[in-house]
Amino acid sequence: MKALGRHIVAELSHCNSEILTDLDRVQAAMVQAALVARAEIRELAFHRFYPTGVSGVVVLAESHLAIHTWPDVGYAAIDVYTCGDTAEPWRACRYLAEQFGCQNMHTTVMDRGIPSANGEYGHRLTVAENREQLLAVSTA
C-alpha cells in the first residue's frame, strides 16, 4: 500500500566545516533544497551555536527539512520528511550533500503512514549505506 509520507534521515560525514558553521550558508542551502525538492516553504527557524554549529528547520506545506551541524567533526544530521506526491525528498538530500561538500552519506528511509486492513498506520524502513547507493536508489 502507498505511504502518506517519506522520511529520510541522512548522516553527512566529511563535510566542509567552514560551511557547516555559517548560519547564512546553511539556511540558504536548506531553503534551496526545499525548492529543488519542489516543496512549498511555510516558515524558517535557524539558530547559530557558539563556538560552532547550526540547527534549523524549514517548515513545509508537505512537512519539514531539519538540520543539526557539528562543524568541528565535519558532520551534519539531516531529516527530510515530505508527504503527498509533489515533493521529491531525494533531490533535497542530494542537493544538501553537494552544498556541504559531503564525502559520505548514510541514510535510513522510513515510508510513513502505511495503512493496514484494521485502520492502523505503520511504517517501513529501508537503508542505503553510502552516497553512491543513495544516488542509485533515488533515481529508481
Q: Sketch out the chain's domains with CATH numbers.
A: 9-106 (3.60.90.10)
Does the pLDDT value for residue 140 go beyond 60? no
Which DSSP symbol is given to 70? Answer: E
Does the pLDDT value for residue 88 go beyond 80? yes
Catalytic residues: 63, 68, 83
pLDDT in tens, 91-124: 999 999 999 999 999 999 999 999 999 999 999 9
The predicted model scores a pTM of: 0.89
Does the pLDDT value for residue 27 go beyond 60? yes
The pLDDT score that the predictor gives to residue 57 is 98
The pLDDT score that the predictor gives to residue 126 is 80
Q: Determine the number of helices (DSSP H) and then strands (DSSP E) in the chain.
A: 4, 7
Set of cell numbers at residue 72: 568541528
